[in-house]
Chains A and B, each alone.
Chain A
Amino acid sequence: MTAENVKTYESMAKFSLDSDTRTWIADVLSGLEDGFGLLDTINTCGITPLITPLAKTNIMREDVAVKQITRDRLMSTAPAEYDGYFQVPKTIA
Chain B
Amino acid sequence: MRFMACSNIMVKDEISSAGSKMLYNFKAPFGADVYDRCIGKGMEFAGLIETDEFGIDSLFEQNTDAAITAMLENRCDFVLCNDLFGKLQRQAPGHGLVYINPAYGAVSRQGLIPAVSSMDRIGVLCRNIDDGCRVISAISDGVSDFAKEIPDKATEYKDISQLKYTDIIPYVFYILASAEISGNTARYDGVKFGFRAENAQNLNEMYLKSRTEGFDRDTQLAIITGCMVLSKDNYNKLYHKAMQIRRLIAEHYTRLLDECGFLALSPSVTGKNNLERSVFCLLSSLCGFPSISMKHGDSERLFVYKG
Using CB atoms and an 8 Å cutoff, list the residues of chain A in contact with chain B. 6, 9-10, 12-17, 21, 24-25, 28-29, 31-32, 35-36, 38-39, 41-42, 44, 47-54, 68-69, 73-74, 76-80, 86, 88-93
Contacts and interface: CB of A to CB of B under 8 A. Distances in A.
A50 B25 CA distance: 37
Interface stretch (B71-79, B244-252, B258-266): B244-252
A83 to B, nearest CB: 16
Interface of B: 25-27, 29-30, 59, 104-105, 118-119, 167-168, 170-172, 174-175, 182, 189-196, 200-203, 205-209, 211-212, 217, 220-221, 223-228, 231, 237-238, 240-248, 250, 272-273, 275, 286-288
B224 A53 contact: no
A87 to B, nearest CB: 9
Contacts of A77: 25-27, 29, 192-194
Is chain B's interface secondary structure helix, strand, loop, or mixed overall?
Answer: helix
A78 B168 CA distance: 42
B191 to A, nearest CB: 5
B184 to A, nearest CB: 13
A74 B286 CA distance: 34
Contacts of B228: 9, 29
Given A13-B226, A17-B220, A42-B245, 10 more contacts: A32-B174, A44-B241, A49-B244, A51-B118, A54-B288, A74-B29, A76-B27, A78-B192, A86-B191, A86-B192
